[in-house]
Structures are given as C-alpha cells and as structure tokens.
Amino acid sequence: MNESPKKDHKYYLDLKDRVLALNDAYYNHDQSEVSDFVYDQLLHELEELEQEHPEWQEIDSPTIKVGGKASEVFSKVNHDVKMESLQDFFSVEDIDSFVRRTQRELSYEAEFVVEEKIDGLSVSLEYEKGIFVRGATRGDGLVGEDVTLNLLEISDVPRVMLHDKPERLVVRGEIYMTKSAFIRLNEIQEKNGVKLFANPRNAAAGSLRQLDPKITANRDLSLFCFNIQLVEGMEFSTHQETLKFLARNGFKIIDLEKVARTTEEIDNLIIEIEERRSRLDYGIDGAVIKLNSLKDREKLGSTSKYPRWAAAYKYPPEQVETKLLDIQVNVGRSGKLTPLAILNPVVVDGSTVSKATLHNEDYIAEKDIRIGDMVKVQKAGDVIPEISTVVFDKRPINTEKFMMPLTCPVCGADAVRKTGEAARICVNEDCPAKLKRKLEHFVSRNCMYIDGLGEKNIELFLDLGLINDLADIYLLKNHRDDLLKLPGYGEKSIDKLLEAIESSKNNSMENFLAALGIQFIGANTASLISEVVPDIDTLMMMTAANLEDIPGVGQASANAIVEYFNNPINLELIEKFRSLGLNFKSYSYKDQASREAESELPWTGLKAVVTGTLENYKRQEAELKLKELGAQVLSSVSKNVNFLLAGENAGSKLDKALNLDIKIINENEFIEALNKPEKFREDL
C-alpha cells in the first residue's frame, strides 16, 4: 500500500507551483490540462495547507490571485470594479456551513439566490446612456483585454438598451458556446482538416480572443448576464431586481431559482440544477449561491480574492452510462499495445463519444472492466473520454475477465511486459503496425513532410508489398507503372507524389533526424542538435556525454540516440537512405566561431514563426531578416515561440498563437522592429 506523501513545506511549494501552472494553461492559453473537479480539489488542498500554516503563504499564491492576465495582443482595460472569482465548495456540508456563517455575521436569516454556474469566459460590458461602448475579458480581475469589436459580433450582446438609459452601467456575463454549436464547429474543423477544439469552454475562449472579429462572428457564441458591477443614476435593493432590470433591457439572464432562506431549501435547489444538467444545451460545472440583498453584500465585502457573500458548489465530472461493446488492442509506433474501449455512442459533455481510453491492463484489472458491461464514461481533463466505473448490478451473466494478449494482434510476435512498465511491447521490429505508424510519422509535416503520402496511401502500398521499410518510400519511383494501374490514381497525381518524395531528399538533417522516430527526439530537439552537429555521420559517432553538452538535450534523449545508432538494423537502414541520395547535412549548423559571433546579435535566443502573406517581403526574405538578427525561425507554433509575424490569411498558426498568448506582430510592426531590434527585444 502506498504511503501518503508528507505534507511539509516542500510539498506545499510543489502543490502551489502545480496550481499556478494549471492556472496559466487555463486562463491564459484556454487549455484544460486536468478536469475542473481535479483542479478544484488541488486548490482546496492548497487553501487548507495555508490555513494550517499561514507562514507558508506567498504573494504569488493562486489562493490570493485571480488566475488570468491580460494578453499583449489586445489593449488593456482597467476594471472599475474588480471581477472576482468565487470560493468553491465540494460538499453540501461546506455550503451549509457557508450559509450559516453568513447569516450569523448578518444576525438574521438572510435570503439567498441559487443560479447555474455557466462554464465559459467571464466578460464585462460597459454602457453609457444605454449604448454599448466597451467590452473586456476578466484577465486577472483588475486588468483585462479589450474585446469590444468581437463582442459586437455576438447577437446576445445588446448594442442599445431597450428602455432604461442609465448614465453608466457595467454588466458582468459569461460568454459560452452551446453544445450543439460546439459539435457543428468541430464538424467544420474536421472537414477543413484543422485541429478539433477540446471542449466548448476552450472553443468559446479561443473564439472570443480573435484578432479578426469575422472569425468570432462565425463561431456562434452566446452570452448569459448574471451581475451588475456598477450603475450610475439608478438604485436597486436586491439581486432579483437587477436581473429583472437586465431582462427588461434586452440582456439574456441566467434564470433564478426561487429565493431560499434555509440550508435545506438551498440544498434542494442545488440538486434540482444538477438533475437537469445533462439535458441543458450549454455546459454548467456547478451552482452559485449568493446573498439576494445588495446592502448585505456591501456589508460583508470581500477577501483578497473572493466575495464573502457568494460561493460555488462544484459538481463532479459529468458521467454518462453506456454499454462497452468491445475492447480493441492497438499497436503504436513504438510497439506498445494499448487497449481501447468501443462504446455504444453516447453524448458526454457536449460531444458524441464512441471510444474511450483504457490506459493499460492494470487499469482494466483494477476496475474489473469486461466486454458487455454497462459502464460510466466521463471526460478526463474535460477532454479525453475514459471509463470511470462499472455498473456492477447491470453486469450480464457469463462475462469474462479481460486479458491483454500475450502476442501482438497484428504480427503474432511476443508482446512482452518488462518489470516496472505498465504496457506490453511487440518485440518484432518488422511488425506491420509499427511500420505503418513509423511511415505516418516519417512523412508528417514536422519530419520529411511528403505531401500526398497519407494514411490511406501508406496502407495501400504496404498491402501491395511496395513498401517494407522507411527507405522503400524512395523506391516507389521504380513502381510508377504499377501505381498508374491502381484505381483512382491518375498520371498527374502519381507524378506529383513522386516529385514530393524526390524533393524531400533535400530536407535538412533536422527533418531527417526527427523523422527516424527515435524515442524522445521530436522536431524541437532535432533542431537543437542540428545547430551544433554538422551531419548524421558526426552524430552517429557521438557519446551520450557529448550529446548532453548540447543545450536542451537531456540524458534520456542522449541515451536514446546512442542506443538507436548502436543497433545494426538501424545502421543498415541509414546506409540504405544514404545510397538513395538523402541529404545528411545540417543546413542550420554553425561552427564555434559562428555561434560566438551570433551570440552578440540582438535577437539571439529568440524563436519566431512567420505565417500568412506579407506585402513587402516574400516569406523566405522575412525569415532571412530574422536569422540575420540572430532569431531562430521555426515552422510550427508552440509555447516556446517568442513571437509570430502574421500577414494576411494567417490561418491556424495565428489561432494557436492567440490561444498560447504568444506575442503577435504585423508587417508594419516587423519593419519597425528591424529598425530598432534592441528595443523590440526589451519590449517582448
């Protein structure tokens, strides 16, 4: 049995750093790395530790700060009234304690309202004399982003109030995407070959924070308003009055449950909301409990982070019951056997789920998952479907325990599970499943990038025996006549494919190295190595210690490279590639003298990506300018990129940069930066 970790000061610091990292991913990059339920549990544990050890709490604690920050892409907006977050509770007992404590401080049985907690992106809407003048995201609660033009593209945002015209009004609401709109959006994304959105919340956040309002307009966003932050020239006494006022003036409001006074009444309302949760066309992750009296709210005030007059009850992840039809075992590029649940399709958190991860055989054994079972499915991290539990009282008679195969389901070779590892591995290096995945990786965009050689073509060429290893791709030209006989393949398409294959021979060493599929060696690591190592032959002679001296290359990566080139089968493959004329040299290699000279350039160490059409430069010319100033030019956007140069029709790279909160510059700003490179770097 595993011992519980010691909750000392180091444990606290590690926990704090983890929550801060999750905050950064969620608020600033619109990415959910764990489920809301898991995040809330971690934050709750952090709060408890700080209550026990107040001397541990530091100024950057996420229990003090609201998670987000304003992006530099949009203008900053200072909120006149802080946009606070809510304290979360996970049991009705905690909510009951909150209610009793609040009523005790007020010295009377106060009224509460209970609302759905919409899972979206919080915004403020500002009106002057009834006219919408500005909208902003929450940001860190004090400073947000000006997204006025984007909000004007959302039909739920009133441009002009219908009846009343207060001198000034600031309304708080939640931008969200309905489940049906989310499904439609992902269908379009899939049709266009673009990466799918993980969940409606991420889709809504990414759609609102677009540089081009036309993109926002096409994303079918919605808005619920739930609070008046500030009003001039009018007075209200209760929260109910403010919502009626908003509804009268054209704002879509969150429908209130009836007013409650006792803990029993509040608990019943929380349960009522949860019971209809799965039937709603929008996501909710809890219920909000608020004081109805605005005077009482003012009396209680707020802590450094939370209002003391409101709290949220967080529901556990949505679980939906369905039937496990089969367990499919797939073989990956490394030979790892991975079990996959095949389910009777069911809608979970807004998307249709027909498959779910089963992780490994220990996971299956621990939960005693069997084919034919009724199971409960949830989204792990709000993204990946997984089976959470088996409904044992609905288990059919005569089901059998599932056993992972001892042999590879594709080639029949032994599937071995080494001590200390969770997965079984096919020992056959020539396994067709391994080869298929390796081929798909080899031709992918960040590797050799052979356009036209997709999954279906690879499957066909494998079935016909035209490809038996990675290097055989470059022998397809010898089978041109055979290819022309295939149904659906014309002379033009075949010649275009063969030209793409031939052209890829000239790719740099970094593409070739990444394409080999060496464990731990992706495009970024291959790029770092190629700046320091002149060619594959030199790399093959290097020791693990030599490789670890390269900045960014760790022990695991170094050992994997040495192990790969010590394998006679791999050496034979390399020689075959050589005989076919592939380039083994690095185009980005710089000798010591060049690196020392480059280290003095103003943009040394910066990573940039160029996308879209520029008016004054060809893309290659812009990339050359960047390199002349010392910047490293990358082909894809990741969190390691420092800035993106975006021209017209920038596309998905711009979307990703926005979601990752990467600095984005247009062509005019680029020209200005070229003239003042030191200042540009200082401003990054």
Rounded to an integer, the average pLDDT of 310-338 is: 87
Instruction: Return the structure tokens found at 652.
Output: 């998905």
Is 65 part of any domain?
no
User: Domain boundary at 281, 314, 347, which?
Assistant: 314
Element at 386 (helix H, strand E): strand 384-390
Looking at the structure, tell me whether residues 129 and 161 fall in a common domain.
Answer: yes
CATH number of the domain where residue 252 is located = 3.30.470.30
Flag whether the pTM goes above 0.85: no
Mean pLDDT over 122-127 rounds to: 93
Say if residue 70's pLDDT is above 50.
no
pLDDT at residue 350, as a whole number: 59
Q: Binding site, residues?
A: 36-40, 85-86, 115, 138, 174, 290, 314, 408, 411, 426, 431
pLDDT score, position 68: 47
Cα–Cα nearest to 289, from 102, 151, 542: 102
Residue 592 reports pLDDT greater than 70: no
Count the Cβ atoms, other than its own, within 10 Å of residue 525. Answer: 21
411/348 same-domain check:
yes
Least confident of 59-73, 250-264, 668-682: 59-73
Q: Domains in the chain: how many in total?
A: 6
Please give the Cα distance from 172 to 228 (Å, whole number): 6
**Which amino acids are annotated as binding site for NAD(+), given as ranges?**
36-40, 85-86, 115, 138, 174, 290, 314
Contact at 8 Å (CB) between 394 and 365? no
Residues 298 and 255 in one domain: yes
Final residue of a structural domain among 453, 483, 505: 505
67 phi/psi in degrees, rounded to 5? -65, -35
Summarize pLDDT for 481-532 with one digit per residue, the tens.
989 888 878 888 899 999 999 999 999 899 999 999 888 888 878 888 998 8
User: Which of 460, 480, 505 is the endpoint of a domain?
Assistant: 505
Least confident range of 83-97, 349-363, 434-448: 349-363
Say yes or no: 137 and 275 in one domain.
yes
Question: What does the pLDDT look like over 418-466, one tens digit per residue?
Answer: 887 788 888 887 788 888 888 999 998 779 989 889 888 898 898 888 9
Q: CATH number for the domain including 22?
A: 1.10.287.610
> Domain with 660 in it: what CATH number?
3.40.50.10190
Q: For 549-585, write each residue's pLDDT tens digit.
A: 887 788 888 999 999 999 998 999 999 999 999 999 9
Place 295 in a pLDDT band, splitting at 50, 70 and 90. Answer: very high
CATH code at position 534: 1.10.150.20
Tell me whether residue 67 is exposed, middle or buried, using C-beta atoms within 10 angstroms of its C-beta: 0 to 12, 13 to 18, 19 or more: buried
Of 182-196, 245-259, 286-300, 636-650, highest mean pLDDT: 286-300
pLDDT of residue 428: 85
What mean pLDDT comes out for the span 596-617? Answer: 78
438-445 long-range contacts (CB < 8 A, ≥24 apart) are: 438/333, 438/470, 438/517, 439/467, 439/470, 439/473, 440/333, 441/333, 441/515, 441/517, 442/470, 442/473, 442/515, 442/516, 442/517, 443/473, 443/515, 444/515, 445/635, 445/636
Note down the domain range covering 191: 76-314
Does residue 2 lie in a domain region? no
Higher pLDDT, 246 or 351: 246
Residues 165-183: what's their mean pLDDT? 90
Residues 441 and 358 reside in one and the same domain? no
* Domain contains 68: no
Based on the fold, state whether residues 80 and 160 are members of the same structural domain: yes
CA dist., res. 39 & res. 86, Å (int): 14
Does residue 449 form part of some domain? Answer: yes
Q: Is residue 67 part of a domain?
A: no
Higher pLDDT, 214 or 263: 263
Model confidence band, residue 53 (pLDDT cutoffs 50, 70, 90): confident
Residues 231 and 373 in one domain: no
Mean pLDDT, the chain, rounded, equals 85
Average pLDDT over residues 245-265: 88
162 found inside a domain: yes
Q: Is residue 19 part of a domain?
A: yes
Considering the domain architecture, whether residues 342 and 455 belong to the same structural domain is answered as: no
Annotated binding residues for Zn(2+), written as ranges, equal 408, 411, 426, 431
Q: Is the pLDDT of residue 43 over 80?
A: no
Buried b / exposed e over 591-607, threshold 16 CB at 10 Å, is: eeeeeeebeeebbeebb
515 with 413, same domain: the answer is no
CA 473 to mean position of chain CA atoms = 34
pLDDT at res. 322:
93
With a cut of 60, say whether residue 383 has pLDDT above it. no
Asked if residue 159 and residue 272 are part of one domain, the reply reads yes
Residue 27 has pLDDT above 80, yes or no: no
What SS3 state is found at 266?
helix
Indicate whether 136 belongs to any domain: yes
Over range 258-283, report the average pLDDT.
88
CA–CA distance, 340 with 330 (Å, rounded to integer): 7
618 and 551 assigned to the same domain: no
At 598, the pLDDT band (50, 70, 90 cuts) reads: low
Catalytic site positions:
117
Q: What angle do CA 128, 134, 135 make, to 5 degrees?
A: 130
Q: In the structure, what pLDDT confidence band is assigned to residue 365 with cuts at 50, 70 and 90?
A: very high
Token pair of 566, please?
């010590």
> Quick one: pLDDT band at residue 658, thresholds 50, 70, 90?
confident
pLDDT recorded at residue 1: 40
Asked whether residue 209 falls in the same domain as residue 103, the answer is: yes
- Tell me the Cα Rg of the chain: 29
Among the listed residues 494, 499, 504, 502, the one whose alpha carbon sits nearest the alpha carbon of residue 445: 504
Q: How confident is the model at residue 316 (pLDDT cuts 50, 70, 90)?
A: confident
